[in-house]
Structure 1
């Protein structure tokens, strides 16, 4: 999995999706219900770093695989949906 750029991209896609779900499902409720913003700050930083890695790897893999701009834009937009990264991996990245 880690020997190719696509393998790294799939790994980062899944990790970014997990971090997003944790941020929305754990971080935000903890912040607003318990008044503790520390978890949100930590999860947000992790998610932000993974999102940047996701975007850079999307550009790199998309150019190497000669994906259309529309396909890369669709993958990028789908990553904003909380479970979109898992759909991306299942529907698009496993086929490549």
Structure 2
């Protein structure tokens, strides 16, 4: 069975990828190509991954006793493109 930290790292990776695909492929295709199908296709999975990321970040932060500054950085990473990858590299990989 996967540890909580491993599960969070996987969700963070998937959330980051889904966000990049949504922002840099689906949204431009929607507005420049007048084709909303990719936003519809990627929107729900990204939303679910985003919610899972937030919930797991709070749970993991409590378990690993992150200070508030660290937790806030991890939570903010969920809304910045590519930031979940930095969180994984700088924080989570070191604690694994």
TM-score (norm 1): 0.94
Q: Distance in 2 between matches of 1:48 and 1:24?
A: 13
Structure 1 position 78, deviation (Å): 2.0
More displaced stretch, 76-85 vs 9-18: 76-85
Once the two structures are TM-superposed, the CA of residue 80 in structure 1 deviates from its matched residue by 1.4
Cα drift, residue 83 of structure 1: 0.6
Moved more, 78-87 or 3-12: 78-87
* Superposed displacement of residue 69, structure 1: 1.5
TM-score of the two chains, using structure 2 as the length reference: 0.94
* Structure 2 partner of 1:55: 54
What aligned pairs does 1:3-82 form with structure 2 within 5 A after superposition?
3-82=2-81
* Structure 2 residues not aligned, in runs of 5+: none
Instruction: Tell whether the 8 Å contact from 2:53 to 2:78 is kept in structure 1 after alignment.
Output: no
In structure 2, how many angstroms separate the alpha carbons of the residues matched to 1:3 and 1:55? 18
For residue 14 of structure 1, give the secondary structure of its aligned residue in structure 2: helix
Query: Following TM superposition, by how much is the alpha carbon of 1:54 offset from its aligned partner in structure 2, in angstroms?
Result: 0.2
SS at match of 1:94: helix
Q: Which runs of 4+ in 1 moved over 3 A?
A: none
CA distance in 2, matches of 1:27, 1:45: 13
Give ranges in structure 1 of 5+ residues lacking alignment.
none
Cα distance in structure 2, aligned partners of 1:51 and 1:78: 11
Contact 2:11 2:53 in 1 (8 A): yes
Question: Aligned pairs, how many?
Answer: 95
